[in-house]
Amino acid sequence: MQSSVKQQLLEAFSKADGEFVSGQALAEILGCSRTAIWKHIEALRQEGFELEAVRKKGYRILTKPDKVTENEILIGLQTDWLGKKIVSLETTDSTQKEAHRLAQEAFKEGTVVIAEEQTAGRGRMAREWYSPKYTGIWMSIILKPSLPPYKAPQFTLITAVAIIEAIMETTGLHPEIKWPNDILLNGKKVTGILTELQADADQIHSIIIGIGMNANQKEFPDELKEIATSLAIEKGEVVSRSQLVQVILKNLEMYYDVYMKEGFTNIKKRWEKYALSIGKQITARTVTGAIRGKALGITEEGVLKLLDEEGTIHDIYSADIEIDPKTH
């Protein structure tokens, strides 16, 4: 929808202050047919507006989309340094790409890039990440810890704990972690984490943590239906994305500070509490092939230990895992 049409429509609804505006009145304001109005109303619905349509009365707005703009996030944000600089975009190809660029431009640690929509969102292993407008949390966080690069995988696990607890706190739902970076509800993916680095051989310059959270999607395209879900689907009601962002940032700042002071041990314990795969029979699909065995746990570095049927223990650095249905 052209933004001037959208503005005119929203102004008309705003003037009506929650009352109905007839299709005829809207058609006159916009100078178009009533059929065209109906199409514009559908476009608003696609953007997350809930509109009621009643014969002979017209249309009225019930709820507006919950935006994730800088202002919405900053008001009520309870952090000392994380998210104090927020770059919020209506649309971008990928917040991850944008955050990489800003990190190189010397944007400070704690900068957050967030978008209402990504046109080329990306996941692990160069997969696409479905990021439709106004429904999810698509954000990338710039951290600059003074650490060697081999510590970076721990940040995926720290972020997972921060996210799980944010979901529990704001929705009452109880997600689980599938190593290394999938957060699941009822066996379907609700959030993915993509941890990327700018580093030289012995020093991290920046860690870019990408978080893709399915918050308010009501449905998914056919190819994702069986494997993806959203908080709104699981809870049966729309969730506040801005509140979730605030709680994720609060938790992540807290765990990051704990990690830098005390190390990973206590966070690892929490991670293991939420982890679905530990102690189960799994198949790990790595770039060099599949290994079947029992997931024993993770190391201090976040590496998965897998005991195969011959009794050999494998260190898994990166893989997709499947849990054997018999051990569910």
Q: Annotated binding site for biotin, which residues?
A: 118, 122-124, 189
Q: Does 207 sit near ligand BTN (CB under 6 A)? A: no
* Long-range CB contact pairs, 12-19, < 8 A, 24+: 13/59, 13/60, 13/61, 16/60, 18/60, 18/61, 19/60
Q: Is 216 in the site for ligand BTN (CB under 6 A)?
A: no
C-alpha torsion sign, points 250, 251, 252, 256: positive
- Tokens read off for 8: 């005119």
Among 13, 49, 59, 129, binds ligand BTN (CB under 6 A): 129
User: Cα torsion for 31, 34, 39, 44, to the nearest 10°?
Assistant: 70
Is the CB of residue 64 less than 8 Å from the CB of residue 46? no
Residues sharing a CB contact under 8 Å with residue 173, sequence separation 6 or more, in sequence order: 167, 185, 231, 234, 235
Distance CA 114, CA 95 (A): 6
- Residue from 13, 26, 89, 94 that binds ligand BTN (CB under 6 A)? 94
Count of residues of this chain found to bind ligand BTN when the rule CB under 6 A is applied: 21
121 binds ligand BTN (CB under 6 A): yes
Q: Is 96 near ligand BTN (CB under 6 A)? A: yes
Q: Is 138 in the site for ligand BTN (CB under 6 A)?
A: yes
Q: Binding of ligand BTN at residue 153 (CB under 6 A)?
A: no
Report the nearest approach of ligand BTN to the CB of residue 182 (Å).
6
Place of tokens 């944010």: 166
175 binds ligand BTN (CB under 6 A): no
> Considering only residues 66, 87, 95, 220, which one is a binding residue for ligand BTN as defined by CB under 6 A?
95
Residues in contact with ligand BTN by CB under 6 A are: 94-96, 118, 121-124, 127, 129, 131, 138-140, 181, 192-194, 210-212
